[in-house]
């Protein structure tokens, strides 16, 4: 029986290494193939954001994997967002209720920890510098290019978990099969990472207990704290257009751009020009596909199934939730993969589509609305309604971030609450009557029609 408990995991990023831990705990012989060198010996060479916001769904999976304590020690709580207006004024907006926070965690640190834990199981074998070239959909085989030898190898693989990210090679194989739906699109905006180094005393230069946002209409910058006293800032800007990456052509343009739009950050970033020139301008892709599986023996998890834009801070959290849900289904249905894999795909793919849509919507909120008086009024009324009717009304942000409510339900709720606020914000003088009986009545009527 044990001999038949074998699995191949393609990609040892965040989701692949976590899912390997889950499989190892179930006693599977797991072969993990990863394109990059082993970061346990070579160190982490992340090209992408070096910290990530972790929230409830991520923590739940981390806890199930038994490593919450290690990760929590280096996670920095961010109970709210700090809005930096162009005039230099700052405003703090809590994310949820007291004691609710999202956490800044190191991408490299988390991946390394997960790899170490996965590697501590004797039933896990890693193959680094092995790039998957595709999975055979006709027979249970998978092909890799071994970068250490330049040889191509084909391996038997009756059960494959593809966690090889947004440009998944395994998914490309599935895209050639009948009735596999696939859509990808790029945002007009790209992103570039910059660093706010620690102050001379080693401390953070701005409040570390917040996710900082500089909303500027069609573009924005954000910054998340790191445990070493620095912040990783990310500039999101259109690739083309009047205000765009294309218009920033030389060192003088970099300085002029920041002095004009982010004046309070210029002195926080002494290496701004070097960082700007050295760091790549990266694109942002959304991937929707369905089903996430092939014949009950190949399953896409994480970004390979549902890459999303980062504006809800949910990409990794959603990938980790895939692991929790799949593991729970195995508990309920037994390890009968030919049934569990299609059932997982059927039940859960709509949640991937929903968080992709919510993440797009949150981009507008972050870059445009957080400084808009109507939006702030809506936030105030939302908090009031949540306080008054805690079991009937939960803010969508809390549902996504601080609960495990399926994303497709959160999306339905977002649509419903948008309708509610269209009516509330149309009440005459609502700015001064925001907690009035009139608002209460609109809310009660909305509850009946929901
Ligand atoms: C700017 C930015 C900010 C983000 N912020 C957040 C945030 O705050 N919170 C959050 O939850 N999410 C965030 N995300 C999303 C998050 O980074 C991803 O959702 C997460 O990394 C997905 O994990 P994954 O393991 O599925 O894919 P990846 O992290 O992409 O890992 C894929 C792994 O597969 C390997 N691989 C790729 N191709 C092959 C191949 N052919 N063969 C073998 N191996 C291969 C790669 O080397 C890599 O190790 C952000 C993303 C971006 C771009």
Query: In this model, does residue 12 exceed pLDDT 70?
Result: yes
Q: Give the model's pLDDT for residue 158.
A: 96
CB 305 less than 6 A from any atom of ligand 1: no
Q: Give the model's pLDDT for residue 2.
A: 41
CB 432 within 8 A of CB 377: no
Whose alpha carbon is nearest atom 41 of ligand 1?
132
Q: Give the model's pLDDT for residue 45.
A: 61
Would you kindly state where each structural domain of the chain is located, as residue ranges? Answer: 2-75+106-184+286-361, 186-283, 372-449
Per-residue pLDDT reduced to its tens digit, 384-423: 999 999 999 999 999 999 999 999 999 999 999 999 999 9
Long-range contacts of 133-136 (CB under 8 A, 24+ apart): 133/169, 134/169, 134/170, 134/172, 134/173, 135/10, 135/160, 135/162, 135/169, 135/170, 135/173, 135/174, 135/294, 135/298, 136/173
**Residue 12 token pair:** 């040892």
Atom of ligand 1 nearest to the CA of 130: 43
Atom of ligand 1 nearest to the CA of 234: 1
Rounded distance between C-alpha atoms, residue 221 and residue 205, angstroms: 16
CB 366 within 8 A of CB 220: yes
CB 341 less than 6 A from any atom of ligand 1: no
Percentage of the chain lying above the pLDDT 70 cut: 98
Query: In this model, does residue 367 exceed pLDDT 90?
Result: no
Whose alpha carbon is nearest atom 31 of ligand 1?
13
- From residue 269, alpha-carbon distances to 196, 209, 249 in Å are 5, 19, 19
- In this prediction, residues 327-332 reach a mean pLDDT of 97
Place of tokens 């257009």: 241
User: What does pTM read for this prediction?
Assistant: 0.96
Q: Which range among 52-61, 96-105, 180-189, 392-401 shows the weakest confidence by mean pLDDT? A: 96-105
Per-residue pLDDT reduced to its tens digit, 148-164: 999 999 999 999 999 99
- Chain-wide mean pLDDT for the chain? 94
Q: Which range among 36-45, 150-159, 196-205 shows the weakest confidence by mean pLDDT? A: 36-45
Cα of 304 vs centre of ligand 1, distance in Å, is 9
Cα of 441 vs centre of ligand 1, distance in Å, is 45
Per-residue pLDDT reduced to its tens digit, 100-136: 999 999 899 899 999 999 999 999 999 999 999 999 9
CB 309 less than 6 A from any atom of ligand 1: no
Whose alpha carbon is nearest atom 29 of ligand 1?
13
Name the architecture of domain 2-75+106-184+286-361. 3-Layer(bba) Sandwich (3.50)
CB 310 less than 6 A from any atom of ligand 1: yes
Atom of ligand 1 nearest to the CA of 55: 11
Query: In this model, does residue 92 exceed pLDDT 70?
Result: yes
Per-residue pLDDT reduced to its tens digit, 242-276: 999 999 999 999 999 999 999 999 999 999 999 99
Q: What is the 3-state secondary structure (H, E, C) of 206-228?
A: CCCCCEEEEECCCCEEEEEECCC
Rounded distance between C-alpha atoms, residue 347 and residue 334, angstroms: 17
Rounded distance between C-alpha atoms, residue 192 and residue 382, angstroms: 33
């Amino acid at each position: 029986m044990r001999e038949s408990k074998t699995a191949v995991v393609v990609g040892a990023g965040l989701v692949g290494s976590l899912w390997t831990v889950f499989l190892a705990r179930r006693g599977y012989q797991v072969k993990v193939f990863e394109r990059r060198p082993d970061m346990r010996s070579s160190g982490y060479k992340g090209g992408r954001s070096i910290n990530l916001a972790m929230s409830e769904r991520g923590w739940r999976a981390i806890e199930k994997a038994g490593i919450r304590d290690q990760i929590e020690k280096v996670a920095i709580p961010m109970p709210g967002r700090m809005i930096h207006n162009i005039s230099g004024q700052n405003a703090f907006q809590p994310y949820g209720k007291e004691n609710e926070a999202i956490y800044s965690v190191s991408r490299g640190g988390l991946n390394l920890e997960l790899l170490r834990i996965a590697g501590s199981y004797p039933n896990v074998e890693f193959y680094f510098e092995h790039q998957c070239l595709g999975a055979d959909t006709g027979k249970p085989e998978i092909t890799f290019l071994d970068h250490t030898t330049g040889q191509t190898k084909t391996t038997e693989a009756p059960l494959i978990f593809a966690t090889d990210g947004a440009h998944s090679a395994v998914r490309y194989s599935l895209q050639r099969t009948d009735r596999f739906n696939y859509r990808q699109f790029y945002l007009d905006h790209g992103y570039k990472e910059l660093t706010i180094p620690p102050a001379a005393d080693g401390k953070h230069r701005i409040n570390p207990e917040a996710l900082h946002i500089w909303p500027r209409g069609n573009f924005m910058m954000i910054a998340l704290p790191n445990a070493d006293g620095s912040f990783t800032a990310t500039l999101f800007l259109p690739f083309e257009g009047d205000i765009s990456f294309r218009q920033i052509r030389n060192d003088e343009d970099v300085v002029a751009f920041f002095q004009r739009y982010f004046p309070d950050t210029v002195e926080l970033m002494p290496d701004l020009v070097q960082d700007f020139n050295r760091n790549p301008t990266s694109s942002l892709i959304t991937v929707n596909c369905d089903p996430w599986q092939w014949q009950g023996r190949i399953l896409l998890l994480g970004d390979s199934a549902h890459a999303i834009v980062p504006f809800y801070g949910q990409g990794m959290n959603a990938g980790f939730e895939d692991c929790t849900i799949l593991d729970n289904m195995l508990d309920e249905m037994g390890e009968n993969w030919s049934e569990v894999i299609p059932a997982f795909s059927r039940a859960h793919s709509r949640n991937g589509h929903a968080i992709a849509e919510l993440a797009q919507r949150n981009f507008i909120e972050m870059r445009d609305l957080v400084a808009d008086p109507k939006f702030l009024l809506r936030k105030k009324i939302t908090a009031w309604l949540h306080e008054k009717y805690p079991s009937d009304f939960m803010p969508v942000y809390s549902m996504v971030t601080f609960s495990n409510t399926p994303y497709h339900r959160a999306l339905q709720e977002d649509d419903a609450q948008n309708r509610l606020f269209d009516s509330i914000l149309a009440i005459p003088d609502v700015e001064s009557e925001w907690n009035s009986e009139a608002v209460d009545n609109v809310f009660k009527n909305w509850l009946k029609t929901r």
